[in-house]
Amino acid sequence: MNNWERKIKERRLNLGILGLGYVGLPLVRAFADESLRVLGFDTDPGKVKALNSGRSIIKHIPDSHIRKIVDEGRFEATCDMSRMKRTDAIVVCVPTPLTENREPDMQYVIGSAQTIARYLQRGRLVVLESTTYPGTTREVVAPILELTGLRAGTDFHLAYSPEREDPGNKQFNTRTIPKVVGGLTSRCREMACRLYETIIVKTVPVSSLEAAEAAKILENVYRCINIAMVNELKMVFDRMGIDVWEVVAAASTKPFGFSAFYPGPGLGGHCIPIDPFYLTWKARQYGIATRFIELAGEINTNMPRYVVAKIMEALNAKKKSLKGSKVLVLGLAYKKDIDDLRESPSIELIELLRDKGARVDYNDPYISKTHEQRRHNLGMQSRRLSGKMLSSYDVVLISTDHSCYDYEWIVKNAGLVVDTRNATAAVTKYRHRIVKA
């Protein structure tokens, strides 16, 4: 431990980060800013080339920041996994998606562990950050690493520390969000805490790997269930002629006992639509049904269909059919002011609208064109907004409420606006053109 702490204090520690996406790259920035030498590993040659040339791949991390840490020799990206042999610690930040059957898809975690095992050295620290079910680090990662003949907790050190990134959040960032840390042994935990204490305002040590894994699942289950509740209330209140956003705003004035959650067109991002079902899958192994989680998932996944039904109703009131209608979707990202479209409800909305015969375009100032995803390939480019262009659509659907949109101008020029985010709340004119969904 003394040698470990000395390496950190003297900034001689060589850190490897496996996975340079929305979790890995912010970590790279934070550690490199503290003068640690960071080697970033990724399987995407295009991403590696961009980063080494000083170009960021994430909107909220500027090119200038990447260029600075590259030019000063504090960061390098590579596809050469054999260079892991030169690292003192490896932090794993790879995706944990669901399969078509909504079960954990562990291929990236397993593949990462197999890669690390090929180059694992005695005394190294391996930390998994990918959100997953309790037991993953001990039951999946450790056995793969121990195929080397080295023993976890004795010959090398193993920890779990869940990522808590929130892209686009101006109030909290990698440094200011407390870091939960669990270790296979107390020494593993302490080594991981010392590493993270170089960049994080506060570490939160817990008793085990499983407690750390479960903490992240709890965070996302909490949000999933509460969002489902308010989405259900939206549908109920809509039928009663009550504005759910007004109700939430009124309830939020209570200074205790209430936390505001807001409805939307569906869940997006890598965490809330996916992670609760990791626990559902694991709970089945213990003979327990997670009824709250499954009901919440059913409500939330149905929201894009609810929005499409509202569009059909709005068009019907104008004696139009959805089939053959032109629909413009505003916002492709899963939430406002970011360029992240992982699990975005906008994608499903576009596919549902197309399936019903609508002609669909989109505009997003942060996503100029779509790229092929695991289960989607829209093959679309963002359309430039103009008053004439807006007026040419039968429906303008606000799916993501980017701050840069001028909603007064949008409503003025569009014949019909379907608003899923209450983005038009402050619009004073042409209210008859707005339908909330």
Cβ atoms 25, 58 nearer than 8 A: yes
Checking DSSP bridges between strand 203-205 and strand 179-183, what pairing results, if any?
Answer: parallel
Q: Beta strand 157-160 with 179-183: parallel, antiparallel or unpaired?
A: antiparallel
The mean pLDDT of 27-51, rounded to a whole number, is 96
The pLDDT, as a whole number, for residue 268 is 81
What are the strands, taking DSSP E only, across 171-213?
Answer: 179-183, 203-205
Instruction: Tell me the mean pLDDT in the region 264-270.
Output: 84
pLDDT at 1: 62
CA 264 – CA 333 distance, rounded (Å):
13
Q: Which three-class secondary structure string do you get for 129-158?
A: CCCCCCCHHHHHHHHHHHCCCCCECCCEEE
In this prediction, residues 280-300 reach a mean pLDDT of: 93
Q: Quick one: 286 exposed, middle or buried, by C-beta within 10 A (0-12, 13-18, 19+)?
A: exposed
236-259 average pLDDT score: 96
Query: Catalytic: 224?
Result: no
Please check whether residue 75 is in contact with residue 69, taking contact to mean a CB–CB distance below 8 angstroms.
yes
Instruction: With CA atoms as reference, report the closest residue to 267 among 337, 345, 333, 338.
Output: 345
128 half-sphere exposure, CB direction, 13 A CA radius: 34
Question: CB-based burial of residue 318 (10 Å sphere; 0-12 exposed, 13-18 middle, 19+ buried)?
Answer: exposed
pLDDT digit string (tens) for 55-105? Answer: 999 888 999 999 999 999 999 999 999 999 999 999 999 999 888 788 899
Mean pLDDT of 355-381: 89
Res. 267 pLDDT band, cuts 50 70 90: confident
pLDDT score for 30: 95
Helix (H) or strand (E) run with residue 61 in it = none
pLDDT at 100: 79
User: Which pLDDT score, from 0 to 100, does residue 401 have?
Assistant: 96
Q: Write the CB contacts of 150 (distance below 8 Å, at least 6 apart in sequence).
A: 120, 122, 156
**pLDDT confidence of residue 403:** 95
pLDDT value of position 323: 97
Structural domains in the chain plus CATH codes: 2-206 (3.40.50.720), 223-436 (3.40.50.720)
Cα separation, 344 vs 339, whole angstroms: 11
> Are the C-beta atoms of 244 and 232 separated by less than 8 Å?
no
CB 122 within 8 A of CB 109: no
Angle at 393 between CA 391 and CA 399, to 5 degrees: 110
The amino acid at residue 30 is A
C-alpha dihedral over 396, 397, 401, 402, to 10 degrees?
-50
| Res 373 pLDDT > 90 | no
> Euclidean distance between the first and final Cα of the chain, in Å?
56
Has residue 272 got a pLDDT over 80? no
Give SS3 for 104: strand
Give residues with Cβ within 8 angstroms of 39, minimum separation 6.
Answer: 14, 15, 16, 17, 75, 76, 77, 78, 83, 86, 87
138-197 tens-digit pLDDT: 999 999 999 999 999 999 999 999 999 887 788 888 899 999 999 999 999 999 999 999
Encode 304-332 in three state secondary structure.
Answer: HHHHHHHHHHHHHHCCCCCCCCEEEEECC
pLDDT surpassing 70 at residue 340: yes
In the numeric block, the tokens 């932090």 are attached to: 91
Within 356-430, where are the H helices? 387-391, 407-413
Q: Which of 93, 224, 271, 404 is catalytic?
A: 271
Whole-angstrom Cα Rg for the chain: 24
Name the nearest CA neighbour of 336 among 349, 346, 326. 346
